[in-house]
A = this chain, B = another copy of it.
Amino acid sequence: MTSNTGHCKIVDCTIRDGGLVNNWDFSVEFVQDLYRWLNEAGVDYMEIGYKNSPKLLKGADSAGPWRFLDDKFLREVIPQKGETKLSALCDVGRVDENDILPREESLLDLIRVACYIQDVDKALRLVELFRQRGYETTLNIMALSNVMENQLIEAFKAIADSPVDIVYIVDSYGSLLPDDVNYLVDQFQKYLPNKRLGAHMHNNLQMAFANTLLAAGKGVELLDASVYGMGRAAGNCPTELLVAKLKNPKYEVRPVLQMIEKHMIPLREKEEWGYIIPYMITGLLDEHPRSAMALRNSPDKDKAVDFYDRLMTVETVRS
Contact = CB atoms under 8 A, between A and B. Distances in A.
A291 interface: no
Interface stretch (A57-65, A189-197, A298-306): A298-306
Interface in A220-251: 228-229, 238, 240-241, 244-245
A45 to B, nearest CB: 22
A304 B263 CA distance: 12
Nearest to A309: B254
Given A277-B260, A280-B241, A1 B304 contact: no
A245 B205 contact: yes
Interface string A258-282: 1011000100000000110100110
What is the copy number of this chain in the assembly?
A: 2
A153 interface: no
Given A3-B179, A177-B245, A254 B207 contact: no
B244 A284 contact: yes
Contacts of A99: none
Nearest to A214: B178
A209 interface: yes
Contacts of A83: none
Contacts of A277: 228, 240, 257, 260-261, 265
Interface residues of A, number: 45
A116 interface: no
A21 B284 CA distance: 28
Given A241-B206, A241-B280, A213 B177 contact: yes
Contacts of A238: 206
Contacts of A1: 177, 179-180, 183
A217 B178 CA distance: 11
Interface of A: 1-3, 177-180, 183, 203, 205-211, 213-214, 217, 228-229, 238, 240-241, 244-245, 253-254, 257-258, 260-261, 265, 274-275, 277, 280-281, 284, 302-305, 308-309
